[in-house]
C-alpha cells in the first residue's frame, strides 16, 4: 500500500512538473512569437516603405494632396454652419480623414497583385516570417503616409478655424490606423481571391468602398437623409467610425459614439487579419 501511494505521489509530482514545464515553454514560445511578430512587422514595413521614401514625386504629391482638398473644398463649406457654433471644418476634416484611409487601404491589395504574380510575395511566405506580420507591415506602409497627410490637414486647417484637441485627435487617428490595418488585410485577401485579376479586384473593391463611404455620411450628414437611407446607414460599420472621429475632433472622449467607433475599429482589424491570413494559407499562388 505504502509503495503504491509513493508511486502515486511520484506520478502526481511528475505530472505537475511536466505540465508546469509545458506551460512555461508555451509562454516563452508565445513571447518569442510576440517578439517576432513585432520585428517581422518592422521588417515588412521597412521593405515596403523604402521605394516610397526614395521617390520624391510621391512625397511631393503626398504633401500637396491634403492641401488640395482644403483649397478646393473648404471654400464651399463657408455657408454651412458647423456643429454647436464651431467651424464646419470641425465636422468636415474627420470625415475627410476617414475617406482618405478607406480609399487608400481598400485599394492597397492592388499593389499585392503585382507581387503575387511575380513571385516576390511567395518568397516571403517561404521564410519563417509571421504571416500576419507580413500583412500588417504592408498595411502600415500604406497607413504611414496617410497619418502624415492627416496631420498636415489638421495643422493647415487650424488657422482656418479648426479647433485643436491634440490628444483626442491622436486617439482618433490611432483608431483609424487600426481600422485601416483591417481593411488593408481584407483588400489583400481580395487580391489573392481574385486570382491575380486586377480589374476584378478593382471592380469588387470599389463597389464595396463607394456605397460604404456614401452610406457612412462621410461628406454630408446622414441626419438629413430620408428614413430608409438613414436606417441603411446604421448597418454600415463606417458610420460608427465616422461618428466616433467627429466626436473626438469635437473634443469629446467618454461618449458612446467613441466606444462604438473603437469597437468597430477593433472588430474590423481582427476580422480583417483573420480573413487575410487564412486567405494566404489557402492560396495556391
Partner 1 sequence: MIHARDLTRTFKTKAGPVEAVRGLSLDVAEGELVAFLGPNGAGKSTSVRMLTTLLPLTSGSASVSGHDVVADPAGVRRQIGYVGQGTGSGPYHRVRDELVTQGKAQRMTASAARKRADDLLGMLELDGLADRPCASLSGGQKRRLDVALGLMHTPPILFLDEPSTGLDPHSRANLWDHITSLRKASGMTIFLTTHYLDEADTMAERVMVMDNGIMIADDTPARLKADLAGDTIHVSVLCEDQSGNAAEIAQNLPDARETRVDGRDVAVTLRDGEAVLPEFIRRLHQSGIEAISARVVRPTLDDVFLGLTGRSLREAAA
Q: Which residues bind partner 1 (CB under 8 A)?
A: 39-40, 43, 46-47, 50-51, 114-115, 117-120, 122-129, 281-282, 284-285
Closer residue to partner 1 in complex, CB, 116/173: 116
Q: Which of 123, 206 has the CB closer to partner 1?
A: 123
DSSP string computed for 54-77:
H-HHHHHHHHHHHHHHHHHHGGGG
Hunting for cell 520624391 — which residue is that? 56
In Å, what is the CA distance from 104 to each residue of 81, 100, 152, 183, 187? 29, 6, 17, 9, 10
C-alpha radius of gyration, the chain, whole number: 24
Query: Quick count: other Cβ atoms within 10 Å of Cβ 281?
Result: 9
Residue 113 burial (C-beta neighbours within 10 Å; 0-12, 13-18, 19+): buried
Nearest distance from residue 116's CB to partner 1, in Å?
Answer: 9
CB of 120 to partner 1, least distance (A): 5
Closer to partner 1 by CB, 119 or 159: give it: 119
- Residue 119 Cβ vs partner 1, minimum distance, rounded to whole Å: 2
Q: Which three cell numbers stand for residue 221?
A: 450628414
| Residue placing its CB nearer to partner 1 in the complex, 68 or 117 | 117
Min separation Cβ 101 and partner 1, Å? 23
Between 53 and 64, CB nearer to partner 1: 53
Q: Please report how close the Cβ of residue 14 comes to partner 1 at its closest, in angstroms.
A: 25
Amino acid at each position: 500500500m505504502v509503495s503504491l501511494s509513493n508511486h502515486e505521489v511520484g506520478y502526481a509530482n511528475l505530472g505537475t512538473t511536466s505540465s508546469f514545464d509545458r506551460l512555461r515553454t508555451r509562454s516563452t514560445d508565445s513571447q518569442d512569437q510576440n517578439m517576432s511578430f513585432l520585428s517581422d512587422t518592422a521588417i515588412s514595413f521597412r521593405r515596403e516603405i523604402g521605394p516610397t521614401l526614395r521617390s520624391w514625386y510621391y512625397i511631393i504629391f503626398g504633401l500637396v494632396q491634403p492641401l488640395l482638398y482644403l483649397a478646393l473644398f473648404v471654400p464651399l463649406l463657408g455657408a454651412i454652419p458647423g456643429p454647436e457654433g464651431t467651424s464646419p471644418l470641425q465636422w468636415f476634416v474627420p470625415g475627410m480623414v476617414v475617406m482618405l484611409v478607406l480609399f487608400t487601404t481598400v485599394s492597397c491589395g492592388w499593389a499585392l497583385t503585382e507581387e503575387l504574380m511575380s513571385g516576390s510575395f511567395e518568397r516571403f511566405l517561404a521564410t519563417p516570417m509571421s504571416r500576419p506580420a507580413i500583412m500588417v507591415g504592408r498595411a502600415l506602409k500604406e497607413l504611414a503616409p496617410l497619418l502624415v497627410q492627416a496631420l498636415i490637414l489638421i495643422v493647415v486647417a487650424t488657422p482656418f478655424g479648426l479647433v485643436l484637441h491634440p490628444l483626442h485627435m491622436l486617439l482618433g487617428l490611432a483608431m483609424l490606423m487600426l481600422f485601416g490595418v483591417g481593411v488593408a488585410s481584407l483588400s489583400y485577401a481580395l487580391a489573392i481571391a481574385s486570382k491575380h485579376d486586377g480589374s476584378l479586384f478593382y471592380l469588387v473593391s470599389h463597389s464595396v468602398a463607394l456605397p460604404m463611404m456614401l452610406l457612412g455620411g462621410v461628406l454630408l450628414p446622414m441626419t438629413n437623409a430620408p428614413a430608409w437611407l438613414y436606417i441603411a446607414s446604421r448597418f454600415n460599420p463606417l458610420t460608427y467610425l465616422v461618428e466616433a472621429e467627429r466626436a473626438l475632433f469635437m473634443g469629446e472622449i467618454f461618449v458612446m459614439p467613441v466606444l462604438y467607433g473603437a469597437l468597430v475599429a477593433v472588430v474590423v482589424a481582427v476580422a480583417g487579419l483573420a480573413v487575410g491570413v487564412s486567405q494566404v494559407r489557402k492560396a495556391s499562388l
